[in-house]
Structure 1
Amino acid sequence: MKKQKGFSLIELLIVVAIIGIIAAIAVPNLLAARRSANDASAQQTLRNIHSANATYESGIGRGNFASPLTLLGGSGTNEVGMLDETVVNATNTPKSGFSLQGYSATPKSSTSAALYSVQNVPSQSTGISRTGNRSFFINETGVIRSSDASNQVANSTSSPIGN
Structure 2
Amino acid sequence: MNLKKQKGFSLIELLIVVAIIGIIAAIAVPNLMAARRSANDASAQQTLRNINSANATYESGVGRGNFANTLAALGGTGSTDFGMIDDTVVNATQTPKSGFILQQYGATVKNSTTASTYSVRNHPSQSTGIARTGNRSFFINETGVIRTSNAPNAQATSTSEPIGN
Alignment TM-score, normalising by the size of structure 1 = 0.98
Give deviations 1:98-123, integer Å, cap 9, x for gaps.
00000000010111000000000000
Q: Does structure 1 retain, via aligned residues, the 8 Å contact 2:75–2:87?
A: yes
Q: 1:34: Cα distance to partner?
A: 0.2
Give deviations 1:91-144, integer Å, cap 9, x for gaps.
011100000000000010111000000000000000000000011000000000
Q: Distance in 2 between matches of 1:72 and 1:154?
A: 23
Aligned ranges for residues 95-114 of structure 1 at < 5 Å? 95-114=97-116
From 139, 142, 165, the equivalent of 1:140 is 142
Q: Distance in 2 between matches of 1:89 and 1:78?
A: 17
Residue aligning to 2:162: 160
From 115, 124, 127, the equivalent of 2:126 is 124
Q: 1:69: Cα distance to partner?
A: 1.1
From 42, 53, 56, the equivalent of 1:54 is 56
Q: Does structure 2 retain, via aligned residues, the 8 Å contact 1:134–1:148?
A: yes
Which consecutive unaligned segments of at least 5 residues does structure 2 have?
none
Residue 141 of structure 1 aligns to which amino acid in structure 2? T
Which consecutive unaligned segments of at least 5 residues does structure 1 have?
none
Aligned ranges for residues 7-18 of structure 1 at < 5 Å? 7-18=9-20
Q: SS of the counterpart of 1:90?
A: helix
Computed over aligned residues only, the root mean square deviation of the Cα atoms, in angstroms, reads 0.8
Residue 81 of structure 1 aligns to which amino acid in structure 2? G
Q: Distance in 2 between matches of 1:149 and 1:54?
A: 30
Q: SS of the counterpart of 1:89?
A: helix
From 31, 43, 47, the equivalent of 1:45 is 47
Count of residues in Structure 1 that have an aligned counterpart in Structure 2: 163
Larger radius of gyration: 2
Give deviations 1:41-86, integer Å, cap 9, x for gaps.
0000000000000000000000000011110012222111100000
Q: Distance in 2 between matches of 1:15 and 1:9?
A: 10
Q: 1:148: Cα distance to partner?
A: 2.1
Moved more, 137-146 or 65-74: 65-74
Q: Does structure 1 retain, via aligned residues, the 8 Å contact 2:127–2:153?
A: no
Residue 116 of structure 2 aligns to which amino acid in structure 1? A
